[in-house]
Amino acid sequence: MYFIANWKMYGDLKSLNSLNRVIKFSKKYKKKKIKIIYCPPYTLLDSFSKKLKKTKIELGAQNCHYEILNGPFTGSISPTMLKKIGSNYVIIGHSENRLAGETNDEINKKIKSSIKSNLKVIFCIGETLIQKKRKLTNKILHQQIIKGLFKIKNLNKILIAYEPVWSIGTGVIPKIDDLDKNITFIKNVLKKHLKVKNPKVLYGGSVNSKNVENLVTIKAIDGFLVGGASQKAKNFIDIVEKTII
């Protein structure tokens, strides 16, 4: 079971103290099959890497450029840079970036570069509210998967995070039956069209310690991509505990 903390554009050096409680918690449940991954802003990657060095908690970044090494791309970070600073994962295709104009083709390039740089990818997909109302969810998810993973062989290095755009930061989550159907649909696409034997699909979108109790009833879910609720250690730990106990 995966628990990914996406801090988005939050956090500073004082935020490192919040890791102490989670590190202590992770040692308590080290025999459980759980994987905790922190994805802080670029400015904290080096500090997080040092803090988590002797723990089983892993480090991820929130995005990267499609250029593997370096280049004239002001303000961008390459996957090789992320790997060298201690990242093992990178989030690609987050709905917030898609809304800002990131295309399936750009996402595909980023995934290819990240895998070549030996990073594992958290590949985000999800429909907008308008697409949901027009009953286009399956069509959009299928399109995002096929185009985003076009000509990618190392699919075992990719986690899929289903995060409906309309659920991000709104406090509204899909109905359990709908979410179960969507997760199952995603796994079937991966199995049938891309021949992935055991696809891992996470859910992201307004996950908190209250609604996670209902979310874990969906057996097809392999973990959670947690946003705001991951920034406070107690809230994040509550989510993990209510999932594994």
The Cβ-side half-sphere exposure at 81, using a 13 Å CA radius, reads 16
pTM, two decimal places: 0.96
- Whole-angstrom distance, CA of residue 243 vs CA of residue 245: 6
The pLDDT tens digits of the residues spanning 129-181 come to: 999 999 999 999 999 999 999 999 889 899 999 999 999 888 888 999 999 99
Q: How many domains does the chain have?
A: 1
Q: Which are the contacts of 214, defined by CB distance < 8 A and separation ≥ 6?
A: 176
The pLDDT tens digits of the residues spanning 74-126 come to: 999 999 999 999 999 999 999 999 999 999 999 999 999 999 999 999 999 99
What pLDDT, on a 0 to 100 scale, did the predictor assign at position 31?
63
The CATH number of the domain holding residue 85 is: 3.20.20.70
Domain that includes residue 190, residue range: 2-244
Count of C-beta atoms within a 10 Å radius of residue 245: 8
In sequence order, the β-bridge partners of residue 162 are: 125, 203
Mean pLDDT, rounded, for 34-50: 97
- Whole-angstrom distance, CA of residue 75 vs CA of residue 23: 31
- Could you list the active site residues? 94, 163
